[in-house]
A and B are shown apart, each in its own frame.
Chain A
Amino acid sequence: MDYEAVIGLETHVQLKTRSKMWCGCPNQYGAPPNTHVCPVCLALPGVLPVANEEALRLTLRTGLLLQCEIPARAKFDRKNYFYPDAPKNYQLTQYDQPSTRNGHVEFEFNGTLSRVRITRAHLEEDVGKSTHFERHSGVDFNRAGVPLLEIVTEPDLTSADQTHAYLNALKEILQYGGISDCDMEKGMVRCDVNVSVRPCGTQALGAKIEIKNMNSFSGVRRALEYEIPRQIAAVRRGEKLVQSTRRWDDVAGVTEEMRSKENAHDYRYLPEPDLMPFEPAQDWLDNERASLMELPLARKQRLMREYQLPAGDAEVLKNNRALGDYYEPIARLSKNPKLLANWIINNLQARLVEIMEKEKTEQASLGLEPDEMKFTGLADLKFKPSDLLDLVEMVARGALSSASGQTVLAEMVASGKAPSAIVQSMGLAQVSDAGAIETLCDQAIAQNPNPVADYKAGKEAALNALKGQVMKLSRGKANPAMVGEILQRKLRG
């Protein structure tokens, strides 16, 4: 019998707020241990939490981006468990009245559109971080009380690859929305996976097995690539799988049992009496809705539709939001939006990479750490986006060769001058005067008897060598299309 996997995810994402969830301590990664702490986030006797409005707002925004319902009233609950990294020995979370619920995410997978239902996205707080030394342990509470969004899916995923694609789509949405930086290395995204197997075509769910401790999206994929065949093999052997929690060992590449259902925690949820229920005001919600950004996938589809971009280019402009935002306003004015996209994705990006490499070397020699380095970005360019539009239009109408266009772009980056001024001062305007090009072609034919003979003998490629010679004679300014035409005519004649 064939089996299929049923997969659901709980993804924890740190929100990009200035301060922590209940106090004014900075929400900032990388400070020395226990320097971003105060009586509130250390749970000293007598303190009370005060909800961070920015976190509440980002939660609602997430809900809207994930097509969720926003209930009129949400509340916080205490989830009780003892652990040294939990300062209060309870975690504040939203148990039965979350801020958002019943949404979905759409993403491309295997050439089609996948849809995963979102059960809920609720707000909670992060805990501290334990470090174990030889004879003792330490806890860093800098992270304690950082706002955390838990995004729970329905069991709608069916494979490791699809799960991986969902996570990437989710990350993209959260980064797009300014909700989280989703930096895996800084622990900003963590996920738990629930997976079970069942005979293909059946509906009942098998014993749910939870896998913890994956710290990258590829870790999730590898864990599933291990766990799904493990469960199927076990079922085929006639073993009965039971609800349990397993831990992913990234080094060994295996999952191992942590605890079974009998040892499951009883969290004794209790409504948090120190906080009032949260009832988002209508104008607050309306504002958030009105200022909501387009989802990445919708943008890609629209770029393809409105500007006739190939899927690959639209994907690049979707993935790199800054680049997409640079492109769109000038694309609307452009007669050649496809060519414009090409110039931005290839030539402009190449320039930026070039600059970054140079700046990296410079700043490294000044002794700066990679974290502290600053690079020129799109916003720092000396020329206006409309200048780039002008440049591409010149190339498109043949007033400038593609090669000269590159030279002009380099000068625009360096000086910020307008392309027309550069073309004029460097004398790069493309020569489209047929008489002048004919003279150059005659010259090239006279000076290169061998390619001429080759072409006449049927070697089409030889024409390119001759074209190159003409371009060289024109110092790159001859209109290449006209050169090709005239050469062909002369050689055939």
Chain B
Amino acid sequence: MLNQHTISDLTRRLAQREISAREITQSCLDRIQQVDGRVRAYLSHDPADALAQADAADQTIAREGWNEARPLMGIPVAIKDVLAVRNHPLNCASKILGNYISPYDATAIEKLRAAGAIIHGRLNMDEFAMGSSTENSAFGTTRNPWDLARIPGGSSGGSAAAVAADECIASIGTDTGGSIRQPAALCGCVGLKPTYGRISRFGLVAFASSLDQIGPITKDVRDAALMLKVLSGKDSRDSTSLPDPVPDYPATLSGNIKGLKVGLPREYLVPGLDSEVKKSVDAAVQKLVGLGADVCEVSLPHTDYAVATYYIIATAEASANLARFDGIRYGMRVDGNDPAELYSRTRGAGFGPEVKRRIILGTYVLSSGYYDAYYLRAQKVRTLIRNDFLNAFEKVDVLVTPTTPTAAFKVGEKAENPLQMYLSDIFTISCNLAGICGISVPCGFTSPGNLPIGLQILGPPMGESTLLRVAHAYEQSTDWHKAKPPLQ
């Protein structure tokens, strides 16, 4: 089935006129029809619109031939419900946006369109990207295609599940504390969180502006490289986007990592680390050694403070970012006798419990009298954490860690315990605080259980080329990425 293939496979065959964009799109639509009632990765999608885009792509290919400058021509890419797509609903998996339709395209969407991609569907997530399981979605939990009783991870759970279940060819997620890498790991996909500023955030509904980053979830590393090349670059509409030139990422996938220095952070051997996960990650490290890498231990001494620092900074920014959802200009409104009553009724009814919890926490840490003790101190610790990484990258090219402490947990297992849930991001959070780049690639399965395990590779700021080269070399020496979930 075409929907099971990678972008690079499909575009090669499209270029040869062996297949059509309509056939690819139809195969994804059929698969959605077949499994999404159980997986529930999509919040909504418009098959007619997808097919119309596919036909337009086919006509372009017929008229102009294959154009290397449009490397995603005819490829259906599904979008997390947190990115603005013109004339599509935008809900952030929250009730508060009501029947809001975005009047404009995010920069990332514009770039995908310019590359020829078919923009299709709204993927489920934790409400406003706050969570690690999609259980915080106002519209139901997405299921892990490998075990429908389990969560797919989050917040980009829909994005990972849709790729893993072959309901799309690739998807777009966002990562604030691991929200791309963690679900990619739990669903057995490749998930890339680029350096902060590498991809424009314009059109991404902000959770925590200084941590948020858009990235691809794909079926293999080459596709991630391809997507990154399309999505990256300075954007005049995002002042925090970086001006560095965009390398030809797919061209850097040489397969050669001889002499590359790989660091293993000592502090990541935490008590909660599952033995199956540890075993797979150790084996992956041995594989890298076998490929010629030099492995050594490094220290990231401020790791212990990462989760606390993250939840102060992220919630502080979120408390301001989410203030605009007030029922005045758009979205849901519950009327009141004065603005204050309208606000509290609207926000009381529109936001879910986790979002409220984080807004309250963020409001508290910014309050006069507490600001210095919490927010200001967290900013200082954030600098220390970033320095830990920059120091480590003086000695090594990349760091290798597990992506998550455990494989996918059961739906409801941690829902009542927010702190436990927060700790599931323990290996991914520091990367966002430091503003560096990271990727998760499949590195094995639990046994028994047959649940995917992810290997996280972290690189220095703008170190995506190296990161992708290592991930690709590892991936090509294994078959983990070829496994498909037992989902009929």
Contact = CB atoms under 8 A, between A and B. Distances in A.
Contact of A276 (B84, B239, B328): B239
A270 B92 contact: no
B329 A39 contact: no
Contacts of A46: 83-84, 90, 102, 106, 202-206
Interface string A70-108: 000000001010111001111000000000000000000
B366 A270 contact: yes
Nearest to A39: B104
Contacts of A47: 202-203
B340 A82 contact: yes
A139 B329 CA distance: 9
Query: Which DSSP category, helix, strand, loop or mixed, fits chain B's interface?
Result: loop
Interface stretch (A48-56, A173-181, A198-206, A368-376): A48-56
A275 interface: yes
A78 B339 contact: no
B363 A45 contact: no
B400 interface: no
Contact of B238 (A48, A51, A269): A48
Nearest to B323: A89
A45 B92 contact: yes
B370 to A, nearest CB: 10
Nearest to B379: A271
Contacts of B237: 48, 50
A269 B369 CA distance: 12
A410 interface: no
A82 B205 contact: no
A339 interface: no
Interface string B354-365: 000000000100
B383 interface: no
Interface in B158-205: 201-205
Contacts of A44: 84, 102-104, 329-330
B103 A39 contact: yes
B239 A274 contact: yes
From A80, A266, A273, residue with most partner B Cβ within 10 Å = A273
Instruction: Please tell me the size bucket of the interface on A.
Output: 20 to 34
A489 interface: no
B379 to A, nearest CB: 8
B127 interface: no
A78 B84 contact: no
Contact of A45 (B97, B320, B339): B97
Interface of B: 83-84, 90, 92, 97, 100, 102-104, 106, 201-206, 208-210, 236-240, 316-317, 319-320, 323-326, 328-330, 339-340, 343, 363, 366-368, 371, 375
Interface string A241-283: 0000000000000000000000000101110011110000000
Given A43-B329, A45-B84, A266-B367, A80 B90 contact: no
Nearest to A23: B237
A42 interface: yes
| Shortest 3 CB-CB contacts between residues of A and residues of B | A89-B323, A268-B366, A273-B210
Contact of A82 (B202, B339, B368): B339
A90 B323 contact: yes
A45 B329 contact: no
Nearest to A274: B209
A274 B366 contact: no
Nearest to B84: A46
Contacts of B343: 82
A273 B209 contact: yes
Interface string A448-489: 000000000000000000000000000000000000000000
Nearest to B326: A89
A48 B106 CA distance: 11
Instruction: From B84, B329, B339, name the one whose CB has the most chain A CB atoms within 10 angstroms.
Output: B329
19 contacts: A39-B103, A44-B102, A45-B84, A45-B205, A46-B83, A46-B84, A46-B205, A48-B201, A48-B238, A50-B238, A50-B239, A82-B323, A88-B324, A89-B320, A89-B323, A268-B363, A268-B371, A270-B320, A274-B209
Contacts of A90: 320, 323
B187 to A, nearest CB: 26
A90 B323 CA distance: 8
Contacts of B90: 45-46
A49 B209 CA distance: 12
A48 B202 contact: yes
Q: Which one of B240, B319, B328, B363 has the greatest number of beta carbons of chain A within 10 Å?
A: B328
B321 to A, nearest CB: 9
A274 B343 CA distance: 25
A51 B239 CA distance: 8
A258 B260 CA distance: 67
Contact of A88 (B205, B316, B317, B323): B323
A241 B368 CA distance: 24
A49 B239 contact: yes
A42 B102 CA distance: 13
A82 B326 contact: yes
Contacts of B208: 273
Given A43-B324, A46-B84, A82-B339, A87 B329 contact: yes
B338 to A, nearest CB: 10
A268 B367 contact: yes
A275 B239 contact: yes
A446 B339 CA distance: 91
B119 to A, nearest CB: 15
Interface in A26-74: 39, 42-51
B239 A270 contact: no
Given A44-B103, A45-B100, A48-B237, A270 B375 contact: yes
Contacts of B325: 45
Given A80-B366, A88-B320, 7 more contacts: A43-B329, A46-B106, A88-B324, A89-B324, A89-B326, A90-B320, A268-B368
Contacts of B375: 270
Nearest to B90: A45
A87 B328 CA distance: 9
Nearest to A82: B343
A45 B92 CA distance: 10
B9 to A, nearest CB: 32
Contact of A50 (B204, B236, B316): B236
B324 A87 contact: yes
Nearest to B317: A273
Nearest to A37: B329
A266 B370 CA distance: 12
B339 A84 contact: yes
Contacts of A139: 328
A269 B317 CA distance: 11
A82 B329 CA distance: 13
Contacts of A276: 239-240
A269 B365 CA distance: 11
Nearest to B211: A273
B259 to A, nearest CB: 37
Contacts of B102: 44-46
A370 B367 CA distance: 50
Contacts of B367: 266, 268
A90 B321 CA distance: 9
Contacts of B209: 273-274
A27 to B, nearest CB: 19
Interface in A5-28: none
Contacts of A83: 339
A135 to B, nearest CB: 12
A269 B343 CA distance: 21
Nearest to A89: B323
